[in-house]
Amino acid sequence: MPRTDTLLADPRLAAAEATLGRARLKAVVGNAQDRARRGEIPPEDVLAVALAGLSDTAAGLRPVLNATGVVLHTNLGRAPLSGAAVSAVVAAAGHTDVELDLRTGRRARRGRTAMAALAEAVPAAGAVHVVNNGAAALALAATAITSVGAGGGAGTGREIVVSRGELVEIGDGFRLPDLLASTGARLREVGTTNRSTLADYAAAIGPETAFVLKVHPSNFVVRGFTAAVPVEELATLGVPVVVDIGSGLLAPDPLLPDEPDAASALRAGATLVTASGDKLLGGPQAGLLLGDADLVERLRRHPLARALRVDKLTLAALEATLSGPETPTWRALRATPGALRIRTERLRDHLAAAGLKTEVLAADAVVGGGGAPEVTLESWALALGEEYAEPLRLGDPPILGRLERGRLLLDLRCVPTEHDEAVRAAILRVPRSWRED
């Protein structure tokens, strides 16, 4: 039986100590030795088994290659960070000047450079603030604007006027009206599921009205006999208008003409816009608050804002996303069908040279992340048997495709080009016995 100290001295195991720690590394080695003692593996295989066990023991989240054709896949963490944002996070991991002015040596506003970058990206906003996600941004706004008592706490019962057609449910059973009710506000629903008019809103506004809320449905579309009131008309009602655009689009994008953006909503008269940072913006998870300077400052100073504040890593990633190069999300949305077809056919040809026959099919990709539900992106996919889904998902690196009509489709739109060889190698590593089961 190989000695523990001998095994731990192996360079491959020793290198893993930096990420796993000494105790976890010894546990991996001990597990392999125990298997040899039980006769499950020969003693000479202990090192190989220990090395194989490292990936299963690795701390943290595992990187996944997204070949689903869903650009903002919620289960995969939505937007992947740009190289600039990753570098910024690494640089911010140690001590930073997040709340310190190095020139004076005195305390400074937290994340001031990130806020400046956000303000520059949305000039129509009088001021900006960032919390830890989109739901938090809306919860902070609802809590602070509807509260009237000393200290600005929740539970004072002022009203939020909102269309019945915009009381949405998103993923994992999360319902917008439940979030708003949890702040202590009362909801005053107007209109019907399919039609709301300016007169409906006007009739509902009274002394108890805190603000009018307009919510982008995000993940569904109602067609037919419908009516909705635009922001510019809601802004004539004489009360604050809060617009939750959801997806984090800061300015109009010709690729997504029907997707609301923060700049347009503010120019149309919105008092406050809330949005997510990890969707179309392509940055880290964050909730963006953009709008009237006095109101944003009120939100920033509210007691709840402290509980919702973002850490230095998020601030660093957000600033780099706003001021840095094109994000992976931006590139994935704009990947041309021609380029995707060439990559996919090249992958097919390399697999054929190794004796594996596959097929290239025209496919539709989607935006995902609760955004642009009717937009499809012309794409191409490599078709494999559905029996490949599990071994590729459990491989190293894990590769996630989508199952359609008994086939596994791998869409390279969100897979960086430099990982094409990793995809090819992973497919060929699937045991022939597994393929034939």
Per-residue pLDDT of 85-125, as tens digits, reads: 999 999 999 999 999 999 999 999 999 999 999 999 999 99
pLDDT recorded at residue 174 = 81
CA angle 308, 310, 315 (to 5 degrees): 155
Mean predicted lDDT score pLDDT of the chain: 91
Name the phi and psi angles at 407, rounded to 5: -125, 150
DSSP 189-222: EES-SSB--HHHHHHH--TTEEEEEEE---S---
Bridge partners of residue 376, in order along the sequence: 366
pLDDT recorded at residue 156 = 57
- Res 59 pLDDT > 60: no
Question: If pLDDT is split at 50, 70 and 90, which confidence band does 154 have?
Answer: very low
348 touches 422 (CB < 8 A): no
- % of the chain with per-residue pLDDT over 90: 73
Give the C-alpha distances (Å, rounded to integers) separating 160 from 170, 180, 205, 324.
20, 9, 9, 38
pLDDT recorded at residue 437 = 47
pLDDT recorded at residue 151 = 47
CB atoms within 10 A of CB 87: 15
Residues sharing a CB contact under 8 Å with residue 392, sequence separation 6 or more, in sequence order: 398, 399, 400, 401, 408, 426, 427, 430
Query: Distance between CA 207 and CA 351 in Å, rounded?
Result: 69
Query: Distance between CA 83 and CA 362 in Å, rounded?
Result: 30
Query: Distance between CA 411 and CA 359 in Å, rounded?
Result: 12
pLDDT recorded at residue 395 = 83
The 3-state DSSP composition of the chain as helix, strand, coil percent (nearest 5) reads: 45, 20, 35
Lowest-confidence range among 33-42, 58-67, 396-405?
58-67
Task: For residue 306, give the 3-state DSSP assignment.
Answer: helix
pLDDT recorded at residue 15 = 83
Return the amino acid letter for 152.
Answer: G
Per-residue pLDDT of 347-390, as tens digits, reads: 999 999 999 999 999 999 999 887 787 889 999 999 999 999 99
Query: In the structure encoding, which two tokens stand for residue 203, read together?
Result: 């009739």
Query: Distance between CA 421 and CA 20 in Å, rounded?
Result: 28
DSSP 117-143: HHHHH-TT-SEEEEESSHHHHHHHHHH
pLDDT recorded at residue 434 = 52
Residue 410: DSSP 8-state:
E
DSSP 339-384: HHHHHHHHHHHHHHHTT---EEEEEEEEEETTEEEEEEEEEEEEEE
